[in-house]
Amino acid sequence: MAKYFDVHPENPQQRSISNVVDLIRSGALVAYPTDSCFALGCQLGNRDGIGRIRSIRNLDDRHHFTLVCQNFAQLSQFVHVDNDVFRAIKAATPGSYTFILPATKEVPRQLLHPKKKTVGVRIPDHVVAQALLANLGEPLLSSTLLLPGEDEPMTQGWEIKERLDHVVDAVVDSGDCGTEPTTVIDFSSGEAEIVRRGAGDTARFE
């Protein structure tokens, strides 16, 4: 049965945040809010968590997982970013964008796209997500909480708790965080390619 944390959207309770992070460090898979819908998240090297995300979302090995990072310094440890791409990404973060980039050796092999050796990264503009990341001190391995066969992600924490009670370990609820997933920009070739249009404005990458 999943633990349920009702967290204030602007002033998240430190005790709740610490408890969630302790669960993540002990191998938990959590549903948590971002600036573009809820996400499933676990610790970077959590093989069981990765497998559970694949199972819940029915994902194949070509799916790009996302490393949700606290800031740009953390992001740059896990992906290769040249100067032009750096400026483009820096101008758009934090925000509702996921960027696909060549991964560094810090990224576990099972997270990489099998042919491209790329991974998704993002920096969320969400108080609760940022509080979790600051306390954890490393990225959260994440994927949008969109269930197979459904067109829109779930937006209510109580509904996530009800439907995924036996497949996730915790639900962090800070209110509605929207239904639109991130805009995905693939920079792996050095040029911006818009893979998915979502919550982030694509005009700067056109």
Kindly list the distances between the CA atom of residue 93 and the CA atoms of 1, 55, 159, 189, 198, in Å, as whole numbers in the listed order. 35, 30, 30, 20, 15
* pLDDT for 175: 92
**176 pLDDT tier (thresholds 50, 70, 90):** confident
Phi, psi of 24 (to 5 degrees): -60, -45
Structural domain harbouring 59: 3-205
DSSP, res 42: E
User: Can you tell me which residue has the tokens 């979502």?
Assistant: 198
Give the integer Cα–Cα distance in Å for 200 and 29. Answer: 26
Whether the per-residue pLDDT at 58 is higher than 90: the answer is yes
Higher-pLDDT residue of 138 and 113 is 138
Total number of domains constituting the chain: 1
Domain at 119, CATH number: 3.90.870.10
pTM, 2 dp: 0.95
Among residues of the chain, what percentage have pLDDT more than 90? 83
Give 152-161 pLDDT, tens digit per residue.
888 889 999 9
Give 80-136 pLDDT, tens digit per residue.
999 999 999 999 999 999 999 999 999 988 888 888 899 999 999 999 999 999 999
